[in-house]
Amino acid sequence: MDTILVTGGAGFIGYHLSKRLLKDGYNVVGYDNMNDYYDPKLKEDRVRDLEESGQDYRFIKGDLADKDMVFHLFEEIKPAIVVNLAAQAGVRYSIDHPDSYIQSNIVGFFNILEACRHYPVKHLLFASSSSIYGNQEKVPFSVNDPTDRPISLYAATKKSDELMAYTYSHLYRIPATGLRFFTVYGPFGRPDMAYFKFANKIFNGETIQVYNNGDMLRDFTYVDDIVEGISHMLNHPPKLNEEHDPFKVYNIGNNHPVRLMKFIEILEDAIGRKAEKEYLPMQMGDVYQTYADIDDLEKDFGFHPSTTLEEGLAAFAKWYKNYYHKE
C-alpha cells in the first residue's frame, strides 16, 4: 500500500485520520512538532495509541517551518499522498500570538508545497477552515462565495494557504484538494475548543463563559464524519477545473447549524450535569454563524455527514469521563 504522510499527526483530526488509514491498510507516517499550545500529554497519548496499534505506523517529531527537515522527510519516506493538517489553530489565540501562525500556517505550508514540487505526490490534501468565510450573512456558505474579508489572522493564513496551493497546482501540476472544516468535535479532541472547555468546567463545578449571550450558530461536525470524508477523497485527486488546473476546495460540515445554547443543553445531558453560565459579548475575531453548503461533496463522492450532535457529544462525554477518570 501507499505511504501517506499526515502532518499534524499528533493532533485531533490527524490522530483519528491515522487510525482510519492504518485500519485501511496504508503505511502511515505522522509528523508533528508537539508544541504546547495545549496539553502535550494528549498528543503524546494519541501517538502512543497509534504506535501500539500493531499497524505500520511511524511517528517523527519535527517542525514544518524547518525546510531542510521537511525535504529530508520527503526524500526518506517518499509519500504517495500528503494530508497536511499541521497548523497553529485557534481564532482568539491569533490575536495575541501572530508570529506562530505565520511560521506554522504560512512558512510551514510553503515548505510542504515546495517538497511536493520537488518530490511529486499523487495527491496533496490540506486543511483550510470555515473561518475564511468571515462574518458573511448569506447562508449556507458555498465554496463559490467570496472569501477576501477574513476577520482573524488565523482565517487569513488559511485563505493564504488556499491561494498558495492553487498557484503550485497551476505551476507544477500538483493535484491539490483544500478541506474547509466546520467546527470539528469528538473524543480525544482539542482542549481549546468550546465543548472541551465546557466539559472541564462542568466537571469542576465552575461557571462556563457563553459568548454573544449564547446567540451564535455553529455547524458542528463529528470527527468520524470528517475522517470519512477525507477517506473518500484520498485516491481521487481533483479533475482539471475550468482553468485546466488539478485543484479543488470542499466544505466538510454537518450542513445543519445549531444554536450555541442548544449545543450546551445537549452536552449537559451527555455529561449528566448542569452548568452555571456567565453571558459575555462576542469576542474579537469570532463569527456569528457557520453553515456548510456540501453540495459538491455529495455530488462528487456521494458523501454526507451522518452523526447527530446527540450521538457525537455522548461519545465525547464517554471518552472524557474515561480519560480523566471522572464520574
Please give the Cα distance from 165 to 241 (Å, whole number).
Answer: 14
118-151 residue pLDDT tens? 999 999 999 999 999 998 889 899 999 999 999 9
In a 13 Å sphere around the CA of 234, the CA atoms on its Cβ side amount to: 23
**pLDDT, average across residues 176-197:** 96
Taking Cα atoms as reference points, which of 165, 177, 3, 164 lies closest to residue 74? 3
Look at residue 284 in the predicted model and tell me its pLDDT: 80
In the structure grid, which three cell numbers stand for residue 149, read together? 474579508
Look at residue 63 in the predicted model and tell me its pLDDT: 96
Amino acid (one-letter) located at 193: M
The fraction of the chain above a pLDDT of 90, given in percent, is 85
CB atoms closer than 10 angstroms to residue 38:
19
Q: Could you give the 3-state DSSP secondary structure of residue 218? A: strand
Chain-centroid distance of CA 97 in Å reads: 19
- Residue scoring higher pLDDT (139 or 159): 159
Q: Could you give the 3-state DSSP secondary structure of residue 39? A: coil
In the structure grid, which three cell numbers stand for residue 314, read together? 455522548
**What's the whole-model pTM score?**
0.95
Taking Cα atoms as reference points, which of 147, 162, 201 lies closest to residue 324? 201
Amino acid (one-letter) located at 205: G
8-47 residue pLDDT tens? 999 999 999 999 999 999 999 999 999 999 999 999 999 9
**pLDDT, average across residues 175-198:** 96
201-246 residue pLDDT tens? 999 999 999 998 888 999 999 999 999 999 999 999 999 888 899 9
Residues carrying an active site annotation: 154
In the structure grid, which three cell numbers stand for residue 142, read together? 458555498
Per-residue pLDDT for 307 more than 80? Answer: yes
Per-residue pLDDT for 59 more than 80? Answer: yes
Which domains, and CATH codes, for the chain?
A: 3-262+265-323 (3.40.50.720)
236-276 residue pLDDT tens? 999 988 889 999 999 999 989 999 999 999 999 999 999 99
Per-residue pLDDT for 5 more than 80? Answer: yes
In the structure grid, which three cell numbers stand for residue 159, read together? 485563505
Please give the Cα distance from 212 to 181 (Å, whole number).
Answer: 22
Please give the Cα distance from 55 to 41 (Å, whole number).
Answer: 22
Residue showing cell 499528533: 10
Look at residue 102 in the predicted model and tell me its pLDDT: 96
Look at residue 171 in the predicted model and tell me its pLDDT: 96
Q: How far apart are the first and last CA of the chain?
A: 43
69-99 residue pLDDT tens? 999 999 999 999 999 999 988 877 888 889 9
Look at residue 241 in the predicted model and tell me its pLDDT: 84
Look at residue 120 in the predicted model and tell me its pLDDT: 97
